[in-house]
Amino acid sequence: MKKYFLVLFSLLIFTPIAFSAERQIQCKVVGISDGDTLTCLLERTPIKIRLQYIDAPESAQAFGNRAKQALANLTFKKNVTIHISGYDKYQRSLGVVYDDKRNINLALVEMGMAWAYRQTQPIYQQAQQQAQANKIGLWRDPNPIDPADWRASKRSDTTQNLQKLPNNLPLGIVDCSKQLSCKEMERRGFSYTQVQQHFQQCGWKERDGNKDGIPCNRLYRKAQQR
Helix (H) or strand (E) holding 178: none
Pair (114, 151) in one structural domain: no
CA 102 to chain centre: 20
d(CA 209, CA 188): 21
Pair (108, 167) in one structural domain: no
Domain count, the chain: 2
Question: For 132-153, how does the pLDDT look when each residue is reduced to its tens digit (9 = 90+)?
Answer: 999 999 999 988 999 998 888 8
What single string gives the DSSP state of each residue in 84-129?
A: EEEE-TT-PEEEEEE-SS-BHHHHHHHTTSSEEPSSS-HHHHHHHH
Question: For 20-54, how does the pLDDT look when each residue is reduced to its tens digit (9 = 90+)?
Answer: 457 999 999 999 999 999 999 999 999 999 999 99
- Beta-bridge mates of residue 79: 28
Q: Which residues are catalytic?
A: 50, 58, 92
Q: What domain range includes position 126?
A: 23-140
Q: Which of 21, 68, 62, 52 is closest to 119 using CA atoms?
A: 52
Confidence (pTM):
0.62
- Beta-bridge mates of residue 26: 81
Residues near 44 by beta carbon (within 8 Å), at least 6 away in sequence: none
Query: Among the three residues 140, 162, 190, which one is the final residue of a domain in this structure?
Result: 140
Query: Among the three residues 140, 155, 177, which one is the final residue of a domain in this structure?
Result: 140
Q: Which value, to the nearest 10 degrees, does the dihedral of the CA atoms of residues 110, 102, 126, 171 take?
A: 30
